[in-house]
Structure 1
């Protein structure tokens, strides 16, 4: 049996295989942040296709924390109903489902004031954010907790905290974007403080699997590296984080040499250095490549993004190539020619 198709269990939640649909913004909501018909088709389709875990796109815990005005939201109880329907449809088709709780920080493009650890714009074309006060930080930490409560009410299996790609929590973690001189800036422990508080508050209301997505390399002198993140990963493990979703980049403009698997070594470094389960991401398209990653213990889960936009049935393609036996949807049995 290909390891890619072996089940994987965290906190009593079992994924049918090691294939994860990474969160990808769909920009398909209205300004109110509510689920639309698009979401009800898009996510269940990947469940039918055999993905083990589907993680819903970056979902704003505050309206000012959205990447765009068309992002999903979870800052209001009115969002629960639509999210519950997506959860129901995905689970009915055999997959587990998670949600990524997010705040865009200085990369938010919504109207009005945007916030960041320091009043430094992302680039010359970006709006200058307002430096967060201690009260702003407390309010945002509470917003993550409230988002977790709503995610639980909606029936999600997994919560992922977005601390990557140059968004708010990542901005605090990196010394390139965090120039604070108070308890939330300076040392690694201080820069980690807001994430520590978010994780403590979320875990207080959430018993299920808890993931954190990080950007393990800033690709800029003076920035974070995977080796730097090993210490933070150990702190996350102490805070009962179950898996680290290891991405990289985007906290500052930087040239990145991207190629298939270019981020996998970061996953391997975090996994081995902190003895914590990880997910590998980054231009992974080949079933053989995905199998190599999990078989050689470089990650526990493989997160696919654009490849699942191109082919919602990638798990079927992978099963054929890897000669793995998987269960076809009964409606598709006549068309899915699988090894027996």
Structure 2
């Protein structure tokens, strides 16, 4: 799916007043990263490390793993396609609503795809499930599944592919990364673009046991992670304990934002992250999106192309209180015929 993601403002010839369509941290890249990358500019005159080996070592050391447990990638999207390719022509189950790339990647590599609703996770996993893709916390709902280790333990024949792209945006669960040393049926996908606000650099990593990482590495293209992304990764992991987002404040702002949306044309659904789903009470999300763009230069995420959702669903990410108020004011002017 080349179109239909959030943050598609580049498709519109206007300056946005507020972008609620992206669930990347609105506060921007870590302080000092931009200046650091300027000092690394000469590295672009040479090929980058073939497999981002130095960053692999640093990430592994941060978690107490061996380098053979980590594979650095060109963002979570590359990670998803690598998994699908490594197990091509297999069987995959995708929990929905879900990010479209899981299904797109599986179909590209000949998987037989089953869809499993989030509410069916406890009872819907069988011996022939194959790979199970789950985003936890989930995109686009912000839901979390708290008993994932129980499922991994109960179903050793199922390979769990756990996408933790938004793990930094919740207080409701903790990462399953430590479990890769305990379970051979677990692959964890991590993003470095969401919480550190560098989606344009494309950077992420996969964590799993050595045998799984070796299998995935077989399909990895050389130089897929560029020199600036590697440099950014080093900077982030060198300062990992001081670069965390102000999560408590962000979630407090979300709660206040949702409270103020009561009585608006939107029905908001509960979320464990800074982003949340809502449905529009009249017309469609696409029509509301165009109204907000045209009249207020505000962008929202039409979530109608997520599996399991409808044309009335939108996804909204919490911004700062002033920008949240812009959306509240604009929605007050929504008077559909």
Work out whether the TM-score is over 0.5: no
Which is greater in Rg?
2
Question: What is the TM-score of this pair, normalised by structure 2?
Answer: 0.25
Question: What is the TM-score of this pair, normalised by structure 1?
Answer: 0.25
Larger relative contact order (CA 8 Å, sep ≥ 6)? 2
